[in-house]
Amino acid sequence: MLVGVDVSSGYLSRIRTRHLVQGFFGLIVLAIGVQFSLWATAHLGGRLPAVARPAGVEGFLPISALMSLRLWVVGGGIHPVHPAALAILLAACVSSLVLPRAFCSHVCPVGTLSELLGGVGRTLLGRTWLLPRWLDIPLRSLKYLLLAFFVWATWLAMELPALEAFLDSPYNRVADVKMLLFFAEPSRLTLSVLGVLVVASVLVRDAWCRYLCPYGALVGLLGRLAPLRIERNAATCIDCRACTRACPARIAVHAAGRVENVECSGCQDCVAACPVTRCLAVRGPRRGESGLRPGLAALAVAGVFLAVLTGFRLTGHWRSSVGEAEAAARIQSIGSAEYGHPGAGGPPVSGTGARAGWAVGNPDR
């Protein structure tokens, strides 16, 4: 039987800095989506786009980012086709090395959307639902299995030359436009899966994030190393358990000293719910620290995330090496077999053609 949880008490109506940070990044993602759609639509129609391609769209290319990360780690440098994908992945990881899974609860647009859908569920039903433990625990393991699969596929099963060939392949060079077309012209199966995920997120807060998101699994594991954590002062705790009732991850915050649970997203809903000043706070590992106010912690997460992206921009590793002339030519023939996924019946990649074919006579490169 499902257990209902009412988390609609007054604290949720407070405008907190985390919500403002989520709104800030949400507006940026919306602007990126609109700009990229205008850019891609113009090229698909054979017209010169009136706007530039926004590099931030590469945040939606996680597989390319994982491959680029491997190449960078082994000393192959930052791959030039989708450098912003690597930048955003590293920014998510670094911010979560400061406050566990902070990327999920502060920056990630999917996390924000999932939280909003949970709010719709509370409005319609008066509560969101928690699955019974016997079902919740095995379902939580799915995101770690998905992460393990993607790590195996991109770091273990693929030889480095093959990985470089994929990153240079025609498919990867237009992967962002392929992604747009996938969602602009969805199949019935795609619509069905998206519909199930939306309904699940309305009924169960953060359903995608809690059970299926491999990105969340990655930053959650990295968060084990984070120096900042939510900490409870047992001396001032009145054992009202408001923190535990507010926690979307079902963590027994009222019984914890420092919240070490890998499912903690650093959202600080528990801190906002606590009626005792500074009983719960984001604190470092040293005893006696007064802790950060929720607003300062949220701003720190946003600052770290933006600092990583700024570092990539300042060093010239933000814009794709695929120039407008190349993009125009490739997008015009994007429906051909040449741009099929190499692992799904598309042409095999050789590791030479994509980069060499456009290296001469292209002023945008």
**For residue 33, what pLDDT is reported?**
97
Instruction: List pLDDT tens digits, range 35-55.
Output: 999 999 999 999 999 999 999
- What is the rounded (10 degree) CA torsion for 353, 346, 215, 327? 50
How confident is the model over 220-245, as a mean pLDDT?
92
| 134-168: pLDDT as tens digits | 999 999 999 999 999 999 999 999 999 999 999 99
Sign (positive/negative) of CA torsion 14, 17, 18, 23? positive
Is residue 7 predicted with pLDDT exceeding 60?
Answer: no
pLDDT (mean) for 168-176: 96
Q: How confident is the model over 52-83, as pLDDT tens digits?
A: 999 999 999 999 999 999 999 999 999 999 99
**pLDDT of residue 171 exceeding 90:** yes
CATH code reported for the domain at 227-294? 3.30.70.20
Q: What is the pLDDT of residue 9?
A: 41
Helices (runs of H) and strands (runs of E) counted in the chain: 17, 4
Instruction: Convert the pLDDT of each residue in 299-354 to its tens digit.
Output: 899 999 999 999 999 999 999 999 999 999 999 999 898 888 776 555 555 443 33
Q: Which residue has the higher pLDDT, 23 or 363?
A: 23
Domain boundaries, the chain: 18-45+52-223+304-356, 227-294
Within 10 angstroms of residue 346's Cβ, the number of other Cβ atoms is 15
Strand locations in the chain (E):
3-5, 128-130, 229-232, 280-283
Q: What percent of the chain has pLDDT over 90?
A: 71
Query: Which of 86 and 346 is assigned the larger pLDDT?
Result: 86
pLDDT of residue 208: 93
* HSE-CB for 95 with a 13 A CA cutoff: 30
pLDDT of amino acid 286: 75
What integer best gives the mean pLDDT of the chain? 87
C-alpha angle 36/40/42, rounded to 5°?
120
Q: What is the pLDDT of residue 205?
A: 86
Q: What is the pLDDT of residue 298?
A: 87
- Residues recorded for the chain: 365
Crossing angle, helix 294-314 and helix 83-96, to 10 degrees? Answer: 150
pLDDT of residue 343: 62
Tokens found for residue 176: 């962002």
Q: What is the pLDDT of residue 361?
A: 32
pLDDT band at 13 (very low <50, low <70, confident <90, very high): very low
